């Protein structure tokens, strides 16, 4: 055990074993609040573009909103382009 290579290997081994380790915990880059907010915006947008037949404005305008169909007429071309049937 007088060979210098043995001492070098032992020294390298102990330096490796005693080196400090760093533990990195990755947090999610996208907060759950943003995901929920975008999901709500998506659902509301889907309803407005695809399914509204005066329901939203009927809260304010009453029964005449079902005949005027303001949002339906506003999103009519987008509705057809997205493949939603309306007439």
Using CB under 5 A, which of the segments 13-21, 54-62, 65-73, 79-87 binds Zn ion? 79-87
Work out which of 39, 46, 82, 86 binds Zn ion, going by CB under 5 A: 86
Per-residue contact track with Zn ion, 27 to 66, x per CB under 5 A?
A: ----------------------------------------
- Shortest Å, Cβ 87 to Zn ion: 4
**CB neighbours of 86 closer than 8 A, spacing ≥ 6?**
72, 76, 79, 80
| CA 37 to each of CA 32, 34, 74: distance values in angstroms, whole numbers, following the listed order | 9, 5, 24
Whose CA is closest to 52, among 28, 25, 70? 70
């Amino acid at each position: 055990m007088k060979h210098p290579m043995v001492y070098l290997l032992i020294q390298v081994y102990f330096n490796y074993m005693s080196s400090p380790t760093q533990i990195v915990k990755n947090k999610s880059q996208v907060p759950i609040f943003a995901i929920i907010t975008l999901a709500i915006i998506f659902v509301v947008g889907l309803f407005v573009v695809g399914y509204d037949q005066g329901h939203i404005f009927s809260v304010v305008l009453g029964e005449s909103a079902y005949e005027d169909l303001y949002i339906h007429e506003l999103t009519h071309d987008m509705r057809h382009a997205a493949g939603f049937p309306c007439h």
